[in-house]
Amino acid sequence: MPELPEVETVKETLKKLVVNKQINNVNIYYDKIIEFPTCDDFKKNLIGETIVDIKRRGKWLMFELKNYFLLSHLRMEGKYLFREIGSEVTKHEHISFILDDCELRYKDTRKFGRMYLFKKDEAFNNKPLNELGKEPFDETLDVTYLKTKYAKKRLPIKTVLLDQSIIVGIGNIYDDEVLFLSQINPLTQANMLTNEQLQKIIDNTKSVLTKAINLGGTTIRSYESSEGVHGRFQNELLIHGRSGQCIICGSEIVKIKVGGRGTYYCPSCQK
């Protein structure tokens, strides 16, 4: 499931392949991926546009065009792949952007991904971008900010770290890793965390995400090799998805459900 490091990796990979290419046509095979505007307008506005750059905000990919921002959220299983122009559209490929020399296809098995298209000056003033919290590497992300945001949050920190309106980019995997490194029990109410604990969360979020980005992210479900992105961070996961002994203290790793999410932690290290 793509979280910040995976989206960052996809962004960098795509950038090398699509910048300066023109969108000559767009085919939509599954309408619900397009959240805004209508499919007709989405298609009409994209045709003739050139991809200038690709940026990222939280888990959102932002294709910067001459006049528009195309926002794309991969959710659980969204991915981009390249196909020859006119080649057969295979299962789970829902959108095709026909470029000069290839088709850029959006594939998404569970169809959870979403796209928006905004005029450039409108992208940041509208949902979803205007509801996002701070980037993990934003220098203004500090204990004071979290104290304020968490003041009325009695939900478990595990749940609150997933709240994209506070800090962006953390998903279920890195959430567990951050709390393990910070030695914080995932069930701790967010408003009960000490300044020291909040500082640890900030520091460990940065370090885990940085390390994951450098390794190309985490690949849990295997990708077809032709489809590019293979992360290596899955080999570095300390707690998420693991069973058996905690690598720090040797106690048994426990898996529980927190806010409906599978959560791994060490009851001994994370009191």
Partner DNA sequence: CAGGTCTCCTGCTAGC
Partner DNA sequence: TGCTAGCAGGAGACCT
Binding site for DNA (CB under 7 A): 1, 32, 58-59, 73, 75-76, 91-92, 109-112, 127-128, 131, 152-155, 159, 162, 164, 171-173, 257, 259-262
Q: To the nearest whole angstrom, how small is the minimum distance from the Cβ of residue 242 to DNA?
A: 13
Phi-psi category of residue 183: left, alpha or beta, with phi > 0 → left and psi -120 to 50 → alpha: left
- Measured from the CB atom, the residue of 47 and 112 that comes closer to DNA is 112
Q: Report the C-alpha gap between 227 and 83 in whole angstroms.
A: 10
- Is 2 tagged catalytic? yes
**Contact at 8 Å (CB) between 81 and 228?**
yes
Q: To the nearest whole angstrom, how small is the minimum distance from the Cβ of residue 237 to DNA?
A: 12
Q: To the nearest whole angstrom, how small is the minimum distance from the Cβ of residue 68 to DNA?
A: 19
Annotated catalytic residue within 43, 56, 59, 149: 59
Q: Report the C-alpha gap between 123 and 64 in whole angstroms.
A: 10
- Measured from the CB atom, the residue of 141 and 173 that comes closer to DNA is 173
**Contact at 8 Å (CB) between 134 and 166?**
yes
- Is 59 tagged catalytic? yes
CA dihedral (176, 181, 183, 185) in degrees, to 10, reads -10
Contacts with 49 (C-beta within 8 Å, 6 or more apart), sequence order = 22, 23, 65, 66, 67, 68
Q: To the nearest whole angstrom, how small is the minimum distance from the Cβ of residue 36 to DNA?
A: 11
**Contact at 8 Å (CB) between 170 and 1?**
no
Annotated catalytic residue within 11, 15, 206, 261: 261
- What is the separation of C-alpha 270 from the centre of its chain, rounded to a whole number of angstroms? 26
- Measured from the CB atom, the residue of 49 and 158 that comes closer to DNA is 158
**Could you tell me the CA-to-CA distances from 107 to 35, 132, 178 in Å, in that order?**
16, 25, 30
- Measured from the CB atom, the residue of 99 and 150 that comes closer to DNA is 150
- Measured from the CB atom, the residue of 98 and 233 that comes closer to DNA is 233
- Measured from the CB atom, the residue of 173 and 179 that comes closer to DNA is 173
Q: Report the C-alpha gap between 6 and 233 in whole angstroms.
A: 10
Q: Report the C-alpha gap between 235 and 203 in whole angstroms.
A: 21
> Closest by alpha carbon to 240, among 198, 270, 213, 202?
270
- Residues designated as active site: 2-3, 59, 261
